[in-house]
Amino acid sequence: MKKHNFNAGPSILPRIAIENTAKAVLELNGIGMSILEISHRSKDFQAIIDETVALFKELLKIPDNYHVLFLGGGASLQFCMVPYNLLQKKAAYLETGVWAQKAIKEAKLFGAVDIVASSGDKNFNYIPKNFTIPENADYFHITTNNTIFGTEIRYDMDSPVNMVADMSSDILTRPIDISKYALIYGGAQKNLGPAGVTFVILREDILGKVDRPIPTMLNYKTHIKEGSLFNTPPCLPIYTCMETLRWIKSLGGIEKIKEMNIEKANLLYNTIDNSKMFVGTVEKESRSIMNICFVLKEQYKDKEDAFMDFAKSKGMVGIKGHRSVGGFRASTYNALPIESVQALIDCMHEFEKINA
């Protein structure tokens, strides 16, 4: 049966990126060796990382004064690397969910943390508004897409201090004004490639302002200087990222991807809003285009397992909500075809016909 992959991460990737990765695993570009077997210092791998960086810069319109790094350690290591390199006295954080909280926890190891606002009072179902970013903070940190709760900051905020963003689950989903950010990071496994590689986009002038010694591997300067090749990088995941970026370019770039994403999300949100049985969990103006969270209305709560089983029987994968929200979550990342969204909608309608 055809599977409709709504996994939150690792998640669906473009079929062509997977097929070309499979080919490169067998043999890279007719060189008689697998991508798995070549030196990261070979010209063949250098060409791969160069193209990956170049496509990333081109698609995201990253200005020349920014560096792009591909590192290991996941977004979670960035929770620590960011304050290690940037927090001298105090940092400001917007608390919009579990990932933001994890970032805050690490920052507290290095200095004072000013939580400018939190949506924790309503289980993170909205993005706080009308907060003030302290002008004496070393930086201001946001999580643009809250993968677990399904909220998203879909615009580029103004900040009086250097702004740092975790864009793990919404990088490459809309054009961004990179110049508003000092540093952007994310794990690849939501919209870019397989698990194991992390991207970092940063301006070098923000570095060198903290007193503490920084271990070599955790110092951004090391990786800038060595072009992400200080040590062995995740070569295979980087290869797949390159293929995903080629796919985005072939579709017409990020503007086009954004249109496709909005169309998919609108279809599903409209279904939820007009449903007898289902209801969204997020305030409308804070809704994510990537992770769409919904639950059964109070009078139908006992049907949760029944819907999960029904959806599974129709090929839906990964729609169980995160334990901190419950209900259902459909992740509609770039590579998810609109047919899968339609299949989920059909499934919801059919279930309603039987049960409502």
Q: At which residue do the structure tokens 């993005």 appear?
A: 127
Per DSSP bridges, beta strands 291-296 and 278-280 are antiparallel
Instruction: Find the DSSP H helices in 235-303.
Output: 235-251, 254-273
Among 7, 125, 169, 334, binds ligand PLP (CB under 6 A): 169
Q: At which residue do the structure tokens 């994403």 appear?
A: 261
Question: Cβ of residue 166: shortest distance to ligand PLP, in angstroms?
Answer: 5
Cis peptide before 10 (omega within 30 of 0): yes
Catalytic residue, chosen from 166, 170, 247, 264, is 166
Is residue 78 classed as helix, strand or coil in its secondary structure?
helix
| Contact region with ligand PLP (CB under 6 A), list: 166-174, 264-272, 276-284, 335-343 | 166-174
Among 74, 234, 280, 321, binds ligand PLP (CB under 6 A): 74
Q: Is 168 in the site for ligand PLP (CB under 6 A)?
A: yes
Catalytic residue, chosen from 99, 138, 170, 264, is 99
105 as an active site residue: the answer is no
Nearer to ligand PLP by Cβ, of 75 and 248: the residue is 75
- Residues within window 176-205 making contact with ligand PLP, judged by CB under 6 A: 187, 190
Q: What count of other Cβ atoms lies within 10 Å of the Cβ of residue 246?
A: 18
Q: At which residue do the structure tokens 């960035």 appear?
A: 78
Most distant pair of Cα atoms in the chain: their distance: 65
Catalytic residue, chosen from 138, 170, 190, 264, is 190
Question: Cβ of residue 76: shortest distance to ligand PLP, in angstroms?
Answer: 3
Question: Cβ of residue 41: shortest distance to ligand PLP, in angstroms?
Answer: 26
Inter-helix orientation angle 43-60/235-251, to 10°: 40
| Contact region with ligand PLP (CB under 6 A), list: 60-68, 70-78, 113-121, 155-163 | 70-78
Nearer to ligand PLP by Cβ, of 190 and 287: the residue is 190
* DSSP-assigned letter for residue 305: H
Nearer to ligand PLP by Cβ, of 187 and 194: the residue is 187
Q: Is the dihedral of CA 188, 154, 254, 160 positive or negative?
A: negative
Among 18, 40, 59, 76, binds ligand PLP (CB under 6 A): 76
Token couple for 190: 């939501």
89 as an active site residue: the answer is no
| Contact region with ligand PLP (CB under 6 A), list: 105-113, 165-173, 293-301, 348-356 | 165-173
Phi-psi region of 150 (alpha: psi -120 to 50; beta: other; left: phi over 0): left
247 as an active site residue: the answer is no
Question: Cβ of residue 198: shortest distance to ligand PLP, in angstroms?
Answer: 6
Contact 289, 261 (CB under 8 A): yes
Interface positions with ligand PLP (CB under 6 A): 9, 74-76, 99, 143, 147, 166, 168-169, 187, 190
